[in-house]
Amino acid sequence: MAFTKKLEFGNYTLKFGEDKVLLDLFDEVVMPSFHEMKYIRNLKDKGQYFFLDTKLIKLDDNPEAPVLGISGKIVKNTRLKRDQIFREDGGLIEDKSELETAPSSTFLLVLNTHRLILCKEVPGAPTISNFQSTSQYCLKQQHKKFIEDEFEKAKKRKEENPEVERVTKKSLVNRYPYPILRITPLSDKESLKDFVTRLKHIDKVSIKLLPTNREEIDNDDFWSDFGRRREEMNSKAAKVEFSNPKEGLEGDKVYEQASAASGLGNSEVKLKGYDEQGDTINGSNDDFSLTVELEDLPRDAERAATVKYGQFKHLVAENVIKLPVLADEVIAKVVSIFRGL
């Protein structure tokens, strides 16, 4: 049976402390962290993860409103091990063997909206969760290099001019804090509705709003106001919980609120209840994430990115994917990067 390729979507939220986001350190940290095999994440007895064929590409070359993205592949380089095999005439037979394998997924990170689109090329290929862990590792390594480079520059300036203020690595980290990455799967309204419908009785729903990439969130009034209050109080997250274990929550309203809160990929939604058979069911964003099946996708990462972006624009036009309103400074930084290409 042929492997069915599916596009998966996530919100790539990268923060450097409270004041800096992805585009603020794009040239210094973000783009270099994606360079082909510059950093390799090694996992004991599980292989390696790294990026391949990465490139900064133009998705829309309108000079007034360009759209840029990072395309490439994430590879899991590992070995499959076996200890025994089965033969009808001999039953289970000890037979140790290993086989090299390197499953890969193509990806596109749209810089304007910070939306990640990933597609597994073969079974066992890296997931969005693997992508997050690998990207976080590479960002951390590149950030460390950036701090060391800045420290050496400052030390040289001090040697040339003793009157210059001394710069320490601690002060540099305070100015350029460590990167923290979170990728939240984008929710599919129909999958969410199907999940809620499966629950005969809904005990509890919790919704946590998370920090954004300096986006102007356009959720409904309740969630917009809730998010604004989170920011005003300088809270890293804000959580609201609806609970009624005895009588159960109203399913239609649960769907309505969960859909409104999760549409932009800036919230974690968790549901708990039980089905017709009385079995307890827990659900989160991963259980109703958006996927789109494709008949075919080019093996070349850059060409695949063009197809992905076409699908992405179609889903936006159909209101399947909601996008934030871009802040002026985000547009200005994208234009600046575009002009440098």
The rounded distance, in Å, linking the Cα atoms of 201 and 276 is 8
> Could you report the per-residue pLDDT of 45-58, keeping only the tens digit for each?
889 999 999 999 99
The angle formed by the CA atoms of residues 281, 250 and 289, to the nearest 5 degrees, is 50
Note whether 267 and 234 are within 8 A (CB): no
Pick from 113-122, 150-159, 168-177, 180-189: least confident? 180-189
Dihedral pair phi/psi, residue 300, rounded to 5°: -70, 125
Average pLDDT score over residue span 202-223:
68
pLDDT top residue among 180 and 240: 180
Question: Which residue has tokens 């099946």?
Answer: 293
Query: What integer pLDDT is reported at residue 256 of this predicted model?
Result: 82
Entry pTM: 0.83
Q: Is-contact 6 120, C-beta < 8 A? A: yes
* Residue count of the chain: 341
Which residue would you say has higher pLDDT here, 139 or 4? 139
Position 168 scores a pLDDT of: 93
Question: Is residue 265 within 8 Å of residue 250, measured between CB atoms?
Answer: no
**184-213 residues labelled b (16+ CB within 10 A) or e (exposed):** bbbbbbeebbebbeebebbbbbebbbbbbb
Comparing 62 with 280, which gets the higher pLDDT?
62
The 10s digit of each residue's pLDDT in 184-212 is 888 777 777 887 887 888 888 888 877 66
Chain segment 93-104, per-residue pLDDT in tens: 998 998 999 999
Percentage of residues in the chain having pLDDT higher than 90: 52
